[in-house]
Structure 1
Amino acid sequence: MDAEVRRLTLSTGITVPCLIQGDPSARPLLFLHAWGESRRSFDRLVPLLPGFRIAAPDLRGQGEADKPRHGYSLRDQAGDVAAILDALELESAAVLGSSSGGYVAQQLAVGQPGRVDALVLVGSPLSLAGRPPFADDVDALADPMDEAWVRQSLEWFPLHRSVPQWFLEDRVRDGMMMPAYVWKDALRGLYEAIPPTEAGTINVPALILYGGQDTLLSRTDQTELAARIPGAELKIYPDAGHLVLWECPDLVAEDVRAFLRQP
């Protein structure tokens, strides 16, 4: 599969890199990474989905994207995603969001429903309202970023399956590329927002993938999230934690292919 990274200048005023891979005539599948990560968090998933036209951008403030001092509300982040679709000349796409990337995907599906054909929510929250337990640590950050802090932050979400060390080192690099104000403002934009399924209705096919050992998101909330999206399918991986994408990319790929009816 031919792959390239394009620099997209968005109507929202920022420039972001976006990995493009797969046959241009294939079904488009847009990946949205989690807070504190980058498009490279999908490096183990992309090769497992050869039947799609994949687009994986770095989101505002993260990875190699522009890092403005503003624009980190949940609505702003969803607006960037709509602008990414515009820059790619896509009216709509299936959208796969990992963790908070799935929260952004939900907001896009609520606010601009015509842009989303289907949703895959991988360890994605029902609600982030209220301060998470690690918000105080984030509020105390200052530049330059402390690599030891970034490494320690990975321990907020315990791993229950083996993850390659190179992949973990890449996530440390992601964290080091974010200024302290982005860590703070992007997190605040998530937890200060009205949860998308409280703000509106999602009416597209949805697959919800959840790690049964998740200590951040409860199974009750995942069941409620599925109930709020008519016809949504909830699948639980009993021995995975919150970082489903990191721990089981093979299972995620298998379930995505089945859900989107792609061999």
Structure 2
Amino acid sequence: MGSEVRKLRLATGIEVPCFIDGDPAAKPLMLLHAWGESFESFDRLAPLLAGFRVYAPDLRGQGDADKPADGYSLAEQAADAAAILQALEVPRAFILGSSSGGYVAQALAVDHPESVAALVLVGAPLSLRGRPAFADEVEALTDPVDVAWVRDSLSWFPLLHEVPAWFIDDRVDDGTRMPAHVWKSILGGLCSAAPPTESGTIDAPTLILWGGHDHLLSLADEEILAARIAGSVLKVYPDAGHLVLWECPERVAADAMEFLGALG
């Protein structure tokens, strides 16, 4: 089936684009991108997800989505994700979230459990409470956001595998499309929120993928995350860093399809 990008007007009042691919009769799988990215961050993953109907939206403030002044709390981001499924007339879907997109996925599973059939959390945090080391840099941003700063910010997450230059360039483009207030508001919303697994219970079957050289998220935290989600599976990629999706799209696709396919 051919792919398309559909504009969606959400019940939450904003408009977002959503990349759609795969057989309309296949099981739905929604992909949630990380802070500062867009649905194009799944360009190397989506073609590998054969057998699923893939939905990959740009989340509020990012990519080509509307960029309002507010609405960037974790709960509001999860509400947007639920509204996207509603606008697509998809009552329930598998959810794959990368990095902070996996945090939004957890909040979606807690706040809107009826929408979530299963989770795949790729380099996703247990908690983002507090102020990360790079917060001062983000707080100092002004418009237009500097291209060199966005490219330099990628060094916060070292890569152990070669990633295509075009993919890196696209992520820099993602970052420069975000106004300074969005950079700040999303980070603030993530860091001020109660971790989803502390505020509620996730009952959905869950696969957790974590890079063994992740210097942002610890193995201890990932083990706690797995322990808080009954029956979840934690798989470590010993040769990857935080950006598992960027480094290992083939492995992520294979593991996600095996896990989700076994759910029937």
| Offset at residue 261 of structure 1 (A) | 1.3
Question: 1:19-59: per-residue Cα shift (whole Å, max 9, x none)?
Answer: 01000000000000000000000000011012100000000
Question: 1:51-107: per-residue Cα shift (whole Å, max 9, x none)?
Answer: 100000000000000000010000000000000000000111000000000000000
For the residue of structure 1 that corresponds to 2:261, the secondary structure is coil
For the residue of structure 2 that corresponds to 1:256, the secondary structure is helix
Counterparts of 1:157-236 in structure 2 under 5 Å?
A: 157-236=157-236
| Offset at residue 133 of structure 1 (A) | 1.0
State the alpha-carbon separation in 2 of the partners of residues 131 and 183 from structure 1: 14
Matched to 1:184, the amino acid is K
For the residue of structure 2 that corresponds to 1:260, the secondary structure is helix
Who is 1:143 aligned against? 143
State the alpha-carbon separation in 1 of the partners of residues 180 and 10 from structure 2: 24
State the alpha-carbon separation in 1 of the partners of residues 92 and 135 from structure 2: 34
State the alpha-carbon separation in 1 of the partners of residues 162 and 144 from structure 2: 31
Who is 2:82 aligned against? 82
For the residue of structure 1 that corresponds to 2:160, the secondary structure is coil
Matched to 1:6, the amino acid is R
State the alpha-carbon separation in 2 of the partners of residues 56 and 16 from structure 1: 10
| Offset at residue 112 of structure 1 (A) | 1.0
Matched, 1:242 2:242: yes
- RMSD between aligned residues: 0.9
State the alpha-carbon separation in 2 of the partners of residues 132 and 99 from structure 1: 14
| Offset at residue 236 of structure 1 (A) | 0.3
Matched to 2:95, the amino acid is V
State the alpha-carbon separation in 2 of the partners of residues 260 and 83 from structure 1: 23
Matched, 1:12 2:9: no
Runs of 4+ off more than 3 Å: none
Who is 2:33 aligned against? 33
State the alpha-carbon separation in 1 of the partners of residues 3 and 261 from structure 2: 23
TM-score normalized by the length of structure 2: 0.99
| Offset at residue 230 of structure 1 (A) | 0.2
State the alpha-carbon separation in 2 of the partners of residues 174 and 109 from structure 1: 26
Matched, 1:107 2:124: no
Q: Which runs of 5+ in 1 are unaligned?
A: none
State the alpha-carbon separation in 1 of the partners of residues 232 and 226 from structure 2: 5
* % same residue: 67
State the alpha-carbon separation in 2 of the partners of residues 250 and 90 from structure 1: 26
Number of aligned pairs? Answer: 263
State the alpha-carbon separation in 2 of the partners of residues 4 and 112 from structure 1: 27
| Offset at residue 181 of structure 1 (A) | 0.2
State the alpha-carbon separation in 2 of the partners of residues 126 and 169 from structure 1: 29
State the alpha-carbon separation in 2 of the partners of residues 132 and 197 from structure 1: 20
For the residue of structure 1 that corresponds to 2:4, the secondary structure is strand
Q: Which runs of 5+ in 2 are unaligned?
A: none
State the alpha-carbon separation in 1 of the partners of residues 253 and 82 from structure 2: 24
State the alpha-carbon separation in 2 of the partners of residues 100 and 154 from structure 1: 15
